[in-house]
Chains A and B, each alone.
Chain A
Amino acid sequence: MILYTTLAIGGIGLICGSALALAARFLAVHEDPRVEELTAILPGVNCGGCGYAGCGDYAKAVVLDGIEITLCAPGGAETLANMAAFMGVEAESGEKQVAIVLCGGDSDQAPRQFQYNGVADCTAAHAVGGGDKKCRYGCLGYSSCARACPVGAIEITEKNLAVVHPELCISCGKCVRTCPRHLIKMVPESRHAHVMCSSKDKGPIVKKACKVGCIGCRICTKQVEDDAITMDGFLAIVNYDKPIESATVAPKCPGKCIVDTDPPPAPVEEEKVEAEV
């Protein structure tokens, strides 16, 4: 009896097995095994921050097309090191970059110039009459960046201003590409002094549009050494590769647009994030 059983199952197995073996032989597909292995090394969040459709696609691009291995931001230094070891190349690690919205003009500081009626999306709002905020550079607060963020690190405050929570940011850079007003920048995580304004308008115009705008007074540039803050027309720009003593610069800004983000803004409240998503 046991013999029958074994024979029967074994026989069926044998027939099926040989059929499969034949199929595998005639229908074989050649695949670079490294693609799969590299995909396993990647974090697998499929955020698309590297510019490819998911981790698998990026791994393919690295293995087959020789694309650089530094594009995976969420993976951080660890993934980079693993990838470098796997691909046999030198890794150069940098500091973690986090996104920051360079605008401090919330609804108390920067008034609106008309009633916008339409889709609640920054790109759409920006295209209608140039955006409803009087300041044509400021954050519109229609949460396009927050929707683009794969990890919910961007909060739209009650006063219609986008704020990045650096501790949640995975440096994918999606928000940077989404913002129609190009207000979001990637900066080293350890830096705490930022010019929270992106308005290139002249002082008087800025003053009319926002209470915390950069009026181009140049005072800050004189507080720092080695061109750590430079002027782009009427806008002060922090050069993040040069050191700044944040505590000394921030209080000197007459427009109150240089802020010291140390300590960083309070962590996101759970409920708040849910409401925005």
Chain B
Amino acid sequence: MKREPAKFKVNGGIHPAYNKQLTAEKAIIEMPVPSLLRVSMLQHLGAPAKVEVAKGDTVSRGQLIGEHGGFISVRVHAPTSGTVKAIAEAPTATGGSAIAVDIEPDGEDRWVEDITPHPDWESLEGKKLISLVSDAGIAGMGGAGFPTHVKLSPPPGKVIDTLIINGAECEPYLTADHRLMVERAEDIWNGIRIIRKILGCATVRVAIEDNKPDAIAAMEAVMAEDTGDSAVVILKTEYPQGAEKQQIFAALGKEVPSGGLPMDVGALVENVGTTLAIFEAVVKGLPLTERVTTVTGFPVKAPGNILARLGTSYADLLAFCEGLQGKAAKVVSGGPMMGFAQHSLDATTTKTTSGLLFLRPDQVRTFSSMPCISCGRCVQACPMYLMPAELSQMIEAEDIEAAEELNVLDCIECGCCAFECPAHRPLVQHMKQAKAGIMAKRREEKAKQKS
């Protein structure tokens, strides 16, 4: 048996209503290319990509339309063949805005010609493999969107000995990763083997929460013949088991130091979706032009796990799921715990869009201005062992220094505190405010030092 129970678990965490039953049994369906794709140049964390096409150009699927805009940046490819209709700034799902390329599909959906599959990847060097990943424009598909090729090239001196594949999908409602593991376990496993080869690390742990027994079984089956040190780690179902630092602790019992990266404890965490994208990029030679997004929520008529091209507007996604029954008062890009609320359905999917969630008016809980009653529930729930109650009061009194002293920068914004808060205080927003304030102050100080 290639499975082991998680030996460790961070304290804190919460048990929200998961509601995964809405889509957990629904096979991934591919959505036809919509009438317009608006491909953002900021699909990831870091610098936006530089536009490589001009208005009126004809593009093919997989053709490069955005080149690296810096060291921490990701390439962008045309998700289908068609004509570039416009290049203009457009709002992103996260609330900002970025240059986007509008492509009108020609319906042929023709791939570019220079696609080179590497079924013989095992004979390739690590460096070549990383460049294939970089060329395919892969960013972390769990949500943060960190450029994968950067993650896969640790700086000299850092040794990564353990690869953790994140299949926890601890966010309520979302089932995209779950379905991928059930339906494409074999390909994910090959993706894992590619990463293993790149990093030269022996140990592989696939972390899955115990509410996905079929995914555990599927992954275990494909890993059965592996002779190396690999196993499925079964995590207790609890949010946020999928958070990087918490997951490393759960799987390995190691604490990533404050301000550090997983590589500081010799670990690397990749999402299952990213792993699959790596497989597609290397073995089939296909750049990343589509992803699975869970369109869900009680008001959605036909919720499902939709394989959609990047740049599909949220309105098109919803229409493909047969629209709404009844009213939706809140639209969230991503999961309910860390996703971004949308004020319209104009935003388009990116490499990080794991879900599109619609909430009924009665499910929407508004934050309020009630004072903290010091119940301590947030302190017990915080997986980073912070004291959100104290912090938020300090931040409300605009005492950012005190908050910095209490390590507000370690906050991962998972939302456990605000989930538990009986006074419905906007705790996460307070933390974000303080973090932004501290970062601004540090930048200012740096600028002062320079001048």
Chain A interface (Cβ < 8 Å from any Cβ of B): 113-114, 117-119, 121, 123-124, 127-130, 132, 136, 147
Contact of A128 among B95, B97, B344, B437 (CB under 8 A): B95
Contact of A118 among B343, B398, B426 (CB under 8 A): B426
**13 A-B pairs, CB-CB below 8 angstroms?**
A113-B344, A117-B367, A118-B367, A118-B426, A119-B433, A123-B433, A123-B437, A127-B95, A128-B95, A128-B429, A129-B340, A130-B95, A132-B343
B432 at the interface (CB under 8 A from A): yes
- On chain A, the residues within 8 Å of B433 by CB distance are 119, 121, 123-124
B343 touches A129 (CB 8 A): yes
CB distance from B327 to the nearest CB of A (A): 14
Q: How far is the CA of A118 from the CA of B367 in the complex (A)?
A: 6
B436 touches A123 (CB 8 A): yes
Chain B interface (Cβ < 8 Å from any Cβ of A): 91, 95-97, 340-344, 366-367, 398, 426, 429-430, 432-433, 436-437
A127 touches B341 (CB 8 A): no
- On chain A, the residues within 8 Å of B342 by CB distance are 129
Interface class of chain B by DSSP: mixed
Q: How far is the CA of A147 from the CA of B398 in the complex (A)?
A: 10
CB distance from A130 to the nearest CB of B (A): 4
**CB-based closest 7 A-B pairs:** A114-B343, A129-B95, A130-B95, A117-B366, A118-B426, A124-B433, A118-B429
B436 touches A119 (CB 8 A): no
Q: Which residue of A lies closest to B364 (CB)?
A: A117
A129 touches B97 (CB 8 A): no
Q: How far is the CA of A127 from the CA of B426 in the complex (A)?
A: 14
- On chain B, the residues within 8 Å of A147 by CB distance are 398
User: 13 extra interchain contacts, Cβ-Cβ under 8 A, other than A119-B430, A128-B95?
Assistant: A113-B344, A117-B367, A118-B367, A118-B426, A118-B429, A119-B426, A119-B433, A121-B433, A124-B433, A127-B432, A129-B341, A130-B91, A147-B398
B429 touches A130 (CB 8 A): no
Q: How far is the CA of A2 from the CA of B367 in the complex (A)?
A: 77
- On chain B, the residues within 8 Å of A124 by CB distance are 429, 432-433
A130 touches B97 (CB 8 A): yes
Q: How far is the CA of A114 from the CA of B364 in the complex (A)?
A: 14
Q: A118-B426, A119-B430, A121-B433 are in contact. Are A128 and B96 (CB under 8 A)?
A: no
Q: How far is the CA of A121 from the CA of B436 in the complex (A)?
A: 13
Q: Which residue of A lies closest to B96 (CB)?
A: A130
- On chain A, the residues within 8 Å of B91 by CB distance are 130
Q: Which residue of B lies closest to A148 (CB)?
A: B398
Q: Which residue of A lies closest to B329 (CB)?
A: A115
